[in-house]
Chains A and B, each alone.
Chain A
Amino acid sequence: MKRFALSVGVLLLLVSRYSAANHDDFSWHGFIAQGLTSSTDSNYITTGDEITTELTEIGINGSYVINPSLSVSGQLVYLDGGNRFRQGGRLDYLFLDWRITRLFDWQVNVHLGRYKNRHWWYSATQDVPQTRPSISLPQSIYYDGNRDLALSSDGIALQSTKTSNSGTWEVRWSYGRSPLAREDTEKLLSPQAQGRVKQDFTHQFSTYWQPQSMHWQLGFSLLQSEFTYNPAARDILLNGKSGIDRLTLAARYDSENWELTMELLRDRLMYEGDFTQGITLDVDKTGEGGYLQWRYFLQNNLTGLVRFDTYDVDRHDRHGDQLVFNPFGAIPEHYGYMDTLTVGMSWDIMANLRLSGEFSRTHGAGRLTAVVFPDALVYARPYWNAWSLQLMYWF
């Protein structure tokens, strides 16, 4: 809370500079979005098939250019996504942007502070509704359960963009850690864990290439992260270290009237620690998944979307047969995978006002459960649906 208040203070300071300084050096923007949403036969978004207005996203950002080499940028957001993630305010980013080079063909920036994860297609603006292709992003990659872990971290990030007549080449590297809330422990380890998980570090690297024709963009990203578990006084987990290694491959093709996007991932999850009654847990499993998404620009202001998203929690148990041997108790096999088909439509009513709607049909619940020790505490039948309608305005 103290950290959040401090961040609000820094942003207010930025705003106050606006009145004192050259207006050209300060800029600010924001967005507000409200919707209706529901999940049926699953508690992914709402409980008991109810329809809710808990689909709110509000954000405000400011950027102040100190001199040609330095600027400072920050964004505050308020998010409410039903059961999908923690409701409330967040400091999305607040960093010092140091432009190391100011060449026309080669830009190198270092970000110090709370930097954004820029390593996946939509991660840099995942909480900004009008920048997303759909209201919910594919859960194989943009898993709602660990959004606070994945989207921004405190530390250092480096970004290089080199362009020439053979194409544009981007390289990104970052090292930091994310402060985790109590809910993040439940999403990562298990809702039955009473203690807290602390992220030791997250280390990421990615590179993307776009040829001169600008139709294609190809890239990959690597992530390595480690966590330590601090148990509560009375707990079923006595200690533990966990790690995640992630490889993501990404491709996008832009045509005159349509866009095809794909990301594939392989996640290796490891956990080593002591359980009550002298049992040692040693988990090492690899999940695989990805999505293929096609957007068609029907008119300048109308876009259609079709997407298939798939994720298997353990590549050696794609049908979830082994979940009956889960250390926290047997759970249904459909918690071992998740396949989702989504269709959606967006209508740009004005230049900065959009109405989006989507419907998805899902088989499985592999992304509704905790990452390391799966459970069935988030209810879902083997087949379930979700829909959302959202009006968004930005400035």
Chain B
Amino acid sequence: MKIWILKVFCLSALIFWTGALWIGTARAEIPTQPIAVVVNQSVEITTLTPAQLRMIFAGRTQFWPDGSRIRVFVLPPESDIHQFFCRQLLNIYPYQLERIWQRVVYSGQGEAPESINTAQAMQDIIGQTPGAIGYLPAPEKINKNIRMIAIGEPL
């Protein structure tokens, strides 16, 4: 490899790093908040492991054990709640999740989750949709058609 290629590569990397550090400092911190995973009353599951939850939100698991379709709903990718949900409960960065969705949808392997604008709309649509799963910021009062499920290892 010619020396000039190495020089251009190093210079480009330096420019990116400098720019990235400068711009990166402007990134807002994601506020921590309790989040609950909720499902439609038709879903019989009461507990999911973190790995199972990730398979569902990544579009890889598409059916509940009884054979009914899983309908996945998420809040907009830029929302703090979605950002926190991905990091805290799925243990992945939101961009990793979007990368998986794009691959699933455009290579014929399934469907990406449907994006819902607000937490209230999320609560409504999960209540109305059999097989639905989504998440809400610490609901104090929830719709009677939905319920929370536990995330952790089965007892």
A selection of 13 A-B contacts at a CB cut-off of 8 Å is A27-B111, A29-B105, A61-B106, A65-B69, A75-B106, A116-B107, A130-B102, A161-B60, A259-B95, A296-B16, A297-B95, A339-B2, A363-B2
B1 to chain A: which residues have CB within 8 Å? 310, 339, 363
Task: Given contact pairs A97-B108, A161-B55, enumerate 8 new A-B contacts (beta carbons under 8 Å).
Answer: A29-B106, A61-B108, A75-B108, A109-B109, A163-B51, A214-B96, A341-B5, A361-B8
Question: Nearest Cβ distance between residue B117 and chain A, in whole angstroms?
Answer: 12
Pick the contact of B51: A24, A105, A107 (CB < 8 A). Answer: A105
Which residues 331-356 of A have a CB within 8 angstroms of B?
Answer: 339, 341, 343, 351
Say whether A68 contacts B109, CB under 8 Å.
no
- The interface size of chain B toward A, counting residues with CB under 8 Å, comes to 49
A259 to chain B: which residues have CB within 8 Å? 95
Say whether B106 contacts A131, CB under 8 Å.
yes
Which residues 64-90 of B have a CB within 8 angstroms of A?
Answer: 65, 67, 69, 71, 76-78
* Known A128-B102, A163-B51, A341-B8; contact A116-B108, beta-carbon cutoff 8 A: yes
B63 to chain A: which residues have CB within 8 Å? 68, 99, 102
Pick the contact of B102: A75, A125, A343 (CB < 8 A). Answer: A125
B52 to chain A: which residues have CB within 8 Å? 104-105, 163
Q: Is B150 an interface residue (CB 8 A)?
A: no
Q: Is B121 an interface residue (CB 8 A)?
A: no
Q: Is A63 an interface residue (CB 8 A)?
A: yes
Question: Nearest Cβ distance between residue B26 and chain A, in whole angstroms?
Answer: 8
Alpha-carbon distance between A238 and B74 when the two chains are bound, in angstroms: 60
Alpha-carbon distance between A365 and B111 when the two chains are bound, in angstroms: 40
Alpha-carbon distance between A107 and B95 when the two chains are bound, in angstroms: 23
Pick the contact of A306: B13, B50, B102, B103 (CB < 8 A). Answer: B13
Alpha-carbon distance between A118 and B109 when the two chains are bound, in angstroms: 11
For A290-312 the 0/1 string (1 means CB < 8 A from B) is 00001011111000101010100
Q: Is A74 an interface residue (CB 8 A)?
A: yes
- Which residue of A is nearest B78, CB measured? A300
A residues touching B (Cβ–Cβ < 8 Å)? Answer: 24, 27, 29, 31, 59, 61, 63, 65, 68, 73-75, 93, 95, 97, 99, 102, 104-105, 107, 109, 116, 118, 124-125, 128, 130-131, 161, 163-165, 168, 212-214, 254, 256-259, 294, 296-300, 304, 306, 308, 310, 339, 341, 343, 351, 361, 363
Question: Nearest Cβ distance between residue B103 and chain A, in whole angstroms?
Answer: 6
Alpha-carbon distance between A294 and B15 when the two chains are bound, in angstroms: 13
* Known A97-B109, A128-B102; contact A105-B55, beta-carbon cutoff 8 A: yes
- Which residue of A is nearest B90, CB measured? A214
Say whether B50 contacts A214, CB under 8 Å.
no
Question: Nearest Cβ distance between residue A59 and chain B, in whole angstroms?
Answer: 8
Q: Is B138 an interface residue (CB 8 A)?
A: no
Pick the contact of A363: B5, B13, B24, B92 (CB < 8 A). Answer: B5
Alpha-carbon distance between A190 and B38 when the two chains are bound, in angstroms: 60
B23 to chain A: which residues have CB within 8 Å? 298-299
Pick the contact of B20: A104, A128, A258 (CB < 8 A). Answer: A258
Question: Nearest Cβ distance between residue A387 and chain B, in whole angstroms?
Answer: 15
Say whether B106 contacts A63, CB under 8 Å.
no
Alpha-carbon distance between A304 and B16 when the two chains are bound, in angstroms: 7
- Which residue of A is nearest B66, CB measured? A68
